Amino acid sequence: MLIIMKPSATPQQIENVIQQIKKEGLAAHLSQGIETTLIGAIGETHDLATEHFEVLDGVEMVKRITQPFKLASRQFHPVNSVFPIDGFQVGGDDIALIAGPCSVESKSQILETAHAVREAGANALRGGVFKPRTSPYAFQGLGEEGLEYLAEAREQTGMPIVVEIMSQTQLDVMLNYVDVFQVGARNMQNFNLLRMLGETRKSVLLKRGLSATIEELLMSAEYILAGGNKQVILCERGIRTFETSTRNTTDINAIPVLKNLTHLPVILDPSHATGHADYVSAIARAAVAAGADGLIIEVHPDPAKAVSDGKQSLKPEKFAEMVKQVKAIAEVMGRRIAPINKPVTMGW
């Protein structure tokens, strides 16, 4: 339920509404815009009459949020959510460009990649250290050693780091290193993990499950938001279809659909969506043209030798070429790739 306050509502009247929401056993979520104050009453509101709030002083209108996701809904929060990721803003006019290898393999590999992508224009670095591999015999990631290398890459390049978390047991160690937690497609409905990330105050990049609907993605985001963590970035990464010529099928529709349904930033991962380096740039361009707030791209200095996802990884030169094209599309869309303010402190 959404309680819309009058522009003239006083802080005391807002507080009274919040107290009334709590008395009903619901959670109150305040969203204060320049002109309007919206208060969400979140919980079981089916049987609750809107009159309970309509009679309170300072209340203009009470609306039911019809979608099953509430905090993630644009009905609840009409303007785009914009929040900082160490050094730049995500969700506003600027585009996030997260790049790096699928897996951190060695110190030299991540440092070389980090410098190359930063030089090409990336504003954040990705790298997996706990890998969700289809086979239990495949490389599972470097663990904390990999986090240390990523931290060094951040130190040298000024780029925040985005790392996948697979289980609750990894939280404590990761909190010391990462700027953005990535939740992979396979864990999109790991509700315990989502709840735990909702308790943190670090950004979460939530990937769409392999066969998840857009509504299911938004319900997963709701788990994180319900814990009070407002910094959720949604990521379309391709879905399973009958088509086999690409690893997955990019649901390009998901970008405008999500932008319509939610205030959260939406980015696209053309690497996993296509599974093939030759197609990554085309889909990256399409994503920005469709209104994506960012991209996450796999880049490897020597894709043929990559321990995971080499086939879909761009060489640094190809990535630089892609960035030029994406910049041009961003300009047409009235946007730009977010610059990072921090200096490169050490060359490669």
Q: Which residues bind Mn ion (CB under 5 A)?
A: 102, 309
Q: Confirm or reject binding of residue 159 to ligand PEP (CB under 6 A).
A: no
Terminal Cα distance for the chain, rounded: 54
Q: Which stretch binds ligand PEP (CB under 6 A): 2-10, 19-27, 182-190, 280-288?
A: 182-190
User: Of 47-55, 184-192, 226-234, 336-344, which part binds ligand PEP (CB under 6 A)?
Assistant: 184-192
Is there a contact between 236 and 250 (Cβ–Cβ < 8 Å)?
Answer: yes
Q: Which stretch binds ligand PEP (CB under 6 A): 63-71, 183-191, 260-268, 337-345?
A: 183-191
Minimal distance, residue 308 CB to Mn ion, in Å: 6
- Asked if residues 182 and 165 have their Cβ atoms less than 8 Å apart, the reply is yes
56 binds ligand PEP (CB under 6 A): no
What is residue 59's three-state secondary structure?
strand
| Interface of this chain with ligand PEP, residues 251 to 270, rule: CB under 6 A | 269
Q: Which residues lie closer than 8 Å to 83 by C-beta, 6 or more apart? A: 89, 90, 91, 203, 230, 231
Q: Which is nearer to Mn ion, 102 or 142 (CB)?
A: 102
Q: Which of 58, 91, 127, 128 binds ligand PEP (CB under 6 A)?
A: 128
The helix-helix angle for 316-332 and 277-289 (nearest 10°) equals: 20
Binding status of residue 132 toward ligand PEP by CB under 6 A: yes
Nearer to ligand PEP, 118 or 272 (CB): 272
Say if CB 247 and CB 272 are below 8 A apart: yes
Amino acid identity at 198? G
What is the C-alpha to C-alpha distance for residues 331 and 80, in angstroms, rounded to an integer? 20
For the chain, how many residues are written? 348
74 near ligand PEP, judged by CB under 6 A: no
Residue 102 interacts with ligand PEP (CB under 6 A)? yes
Can you give the binding site for ligand PEP, defined by CB under 6 A? 102, 128, 132, 184-186, 207, 237, 269, 272
